[in-house]
Amino acid sequence: MRKDGKLDYLEMQAAGGAIDSVKAFYSAAFGWTFTDYGPRYSAFSEGLDGGFDGSAAPEAKPLPVLFSTDLERTLDAMQGAGGRIVKPIFDFPGGRRFHFTDPAGNELAVWAE
């Protein structure tokens, strides 16, 4: 059940014709599925929560954070699918995470408890 004020959609860019490579990446790395709405838009439904990083620079872009039960396995799958590590695995209050970029240049993070 959706609640007012609950973030439930995140739109990321796949400019320059990168939509097919982005879909292939997320499918291979995380098992995502897609629904196409024409040649330039593809939706996913994978669940989402969010937060605000008070230490982020003013020019920082939104950072989607994905969950993993096995951080090392997820890192290997992400790299095998063509992602690039931006920040290797590090500890933070509540768990561990790493940052990566996808084929379209979007930066994301993956965390585990």
Q: Please, how many CA atoms are within 13 Å of residue 19, restricted to the half-sphere of its CB?
A: 13
Question: What does DSSP say about strands 107-112 and 65-67: parallel, antiparallel, or unpaired?
Answer: parallel
pLDDT band at 72 (very low <50, low <70, confident <90, very high): very high
Q: Render pLDDT for 29-57 as a digit per residue (tens, 0 to 9).
A: 999 989 888 888 888 888 775 667 666 56
pTM for the structure as a whole:
0.73
Give the orientation angle of helix 19-30 with respect to helix 71-80, to 10 degrees.
150
In a domain, 41, yes or no: yes
Pick the closest to residue 109 from 87, 93, 94, 82 (CA basis): 87
Question: Residue 91 sits in which domain range?
Answer: 19-112
CA 109, CA 3: separation in Å to the nearest integer? Answer: 25
Q: What is the mean pLDDT of the chain?
A: 83
Instruction: Give the total number of structural domains in the chain.
Output: 1
User: What pLDDT sits at residue 56?
Assistant: 56
In a domain, 4, yes or no: no
Q: Render pLDDT for 4-19 as a digit per residue (tens, 0 to 9).
A: 555 456 767 786 667 8
DSSP β-bridge partners for residue 105: none
DSSP β-bridge partners for residue 65: 109
CATH (domain of 92)? 3.10.180.10
User: What pLDDT sits at residue 57?
Assistant: 65
